[in-house]
């Protein structure tokens, strides 16, 4: 099935560093979501974006809905060990309870 | 508030055997989704329910997969017969508003 292009595929950082990842699509999405998935668990919703240009924060996480509606960005400031995991972006082309198209994921590893 | 509940968490079966997964969505969430997640990839939608109606089952392999949500609450996903390639994590999600889907912990299926 179709998936969004997410980059980087993996990141190795030191605790305390800031993290940036992005997601791009060839088509327009009207909703962007960011999820985090730990091993053996389901994805957990971090941030939902519903408006082009929107910038939303959730603690140390900040996500932006790209103005072109074809991309979204997630930033994590001052990373901590519990930030380790796989981050997925997801987009929805139309408003409503329709299926989400997921990105390929960014695996975040914190180097001790 | 309780999250999405799924059972079993793990299942190991031999090929050609049947298997069933159960999902209890968040209370009040009318929309329920079943996703398939292969290793290293994002979830992909299998079927979406609005109350008891399957409104999008275009990605469900209907020759061996079936699902039901008889009373518009709990749902079951069945595979009969299972094949080796069905080994994956099966995720259930629910939502009550546009896009913000909340996932359960998933059922990890291993077909031997």
Is there a cis peptide before residue B8, judged by omega within 30 degrees of 0?
A: yes
- How many beta-carbon contacts under 8 Å exist across A and B? 72
Please write the tens of the pLDDT for every residue from A50-61: 999 999 999 999
With an 8 Å Cβ cutoff, are A99 and B4 in contact? no
- Residue of A23, A38, A39 whose CA lies nearest to A100: A23
* pLDDT value at residue A96: 60
A2 pLDDT band, cuts 50/70/90, is low
d(CA B103, nearest CA chain A) in Å: 6
* pLDDT value at residue A71: 95
* pLDDT value at residue A97: 52
* pLDDT value at residue B2: 83
The chain-wide mean pLDDT, for chain A, equals 92
Please write the tens of the pLDDT for every residue from B61-88: 999 999 999 888 999 999 999 999 999 9
For A68, half-sphere exposure in the C-beta direction (CA atoms, 13 angstrom radius) is 9
Containing H/E element for A10? Answer: strand A10-14
* pLDDT value at residue B70: 83
With an 8 Å Cβ cutoff, are A40 and B108 in contact? yes
Task: Provide the token pair at B13.
Answer: 């079966």
Triad B53, B59, B60: Cα angle to 5°: 65
Ranges in chain B, pLDDT < 50: none
First and final C-alpha spacing in chain A: 37
Provide the 8-state DSSP code for A4.
Answer: B
Residues of A in contact with B28 (CB under 8 A): none
Residues of B in contact with A72 (CB under 8 A): none
Please indicate if any CB of chain B lies within 8 Å of the CB of A105. Answer: yes
Residues of B in contact with A44 (CB under 8 A): 103
Burial readout A36-61 (b: 16 or more C-beta within 10 A, e: otherwise):
bbeeeebbebbbbbbebebebeeeeb
Please indicate if any CB of chain B lies within 8 Å of the CB of A39. Answer: no
d(CA B17, nearest CA chain A) in Å: 24
With an 8 Å Cβ cutoff, are B98 and A35 in contact? no
Count of CB atoms situated within 10 Å of the CB of B31: 20
Q: Rounded distance, CA A58 to CA A67, Å?
A: 20
List C-alpha distances in Å: B40 to A60, B23, B25, B37, B88: 26, 23, 25, 8, 11
Please write the tens of the pLDDT for every residue from A67-86: 999 999 999 999 999 999 99
* pLDDT value at residue A27: 87
Is there a cis peptide before residue A17, judged by omega within 30 degrees of 0?
A: no
Residues of A in contact with B98 (CB under 8 A): 31, 50, 92, 95-97
Q: Rounded distance, CA A70 to CA B56, Å?
A: 24
Is there a contact between A87 and A75 (Cβ–Cβ < 8 Å)? no
Which chain A residue has the Cα nearest residue B54?
Answer: A98
Please indicate if any CB of chain A lies within 8 Å of the CB of B7. Answer: no
Residue with tokens 């392999």: B61
Greater confidence, A37 or A99?
A37
* pLDDT value at residue A3: 66
Is there a cis peptide before residue B81, judged by omega within 30 degrees of 0?
A: yes
* pLDDT value at residue A85: 96
* pLDDT value at residue A99: 73
Residue with tokens 């061996």: B64
Task: Provide the token pair at B94.
Answer: 């629910």
């Amino acid at each position: 099935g179709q998936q969004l292009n997410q980059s980087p595929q993996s990141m190795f950082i030191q605790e305390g560093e800031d993290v940036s990842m992005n997601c791009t699509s060839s088509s327009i999405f009207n909703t962007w979501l960011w999820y985090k998935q730990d091993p053996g668990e389901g994805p957990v919703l971090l941030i939902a974006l519903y408006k082009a240009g929107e910038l939303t924060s959730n603690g140390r996480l900040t996500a932006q809905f790209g103005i072109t509606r074809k991309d979204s960005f997630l930033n994590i400031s001052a990373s901590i060990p519990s930030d380790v995991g796989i981050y997925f972006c997801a987009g929805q082309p139309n408003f409503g309870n329709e299926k989400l198209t997921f990105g390929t994921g960014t695996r975040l590893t914190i180097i001790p | 508030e309780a999250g999405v509940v799924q059972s079993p968490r793990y299942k190991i079966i031999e090929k050609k055997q049947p298997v069933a997964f159960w999902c209890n969505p968040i209370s009040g969430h009318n929309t329920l989704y079943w996703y398939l997640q292969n290793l290293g990839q994002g979830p992909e939608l299998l079927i979406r329910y609005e109350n008891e109606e399957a409104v999008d089952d275009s990605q469900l392999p209907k020759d061996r997969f079936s699902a039901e949500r008889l009373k518009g609450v709990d749902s079951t996903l069945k595979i009969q017969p299972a094949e080796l390639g069905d080994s994956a994590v099966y995720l259930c999600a629910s939502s009550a508003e546009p896009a913000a889907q909340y996932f359960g912990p998933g059922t990890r299926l291993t077909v031997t």
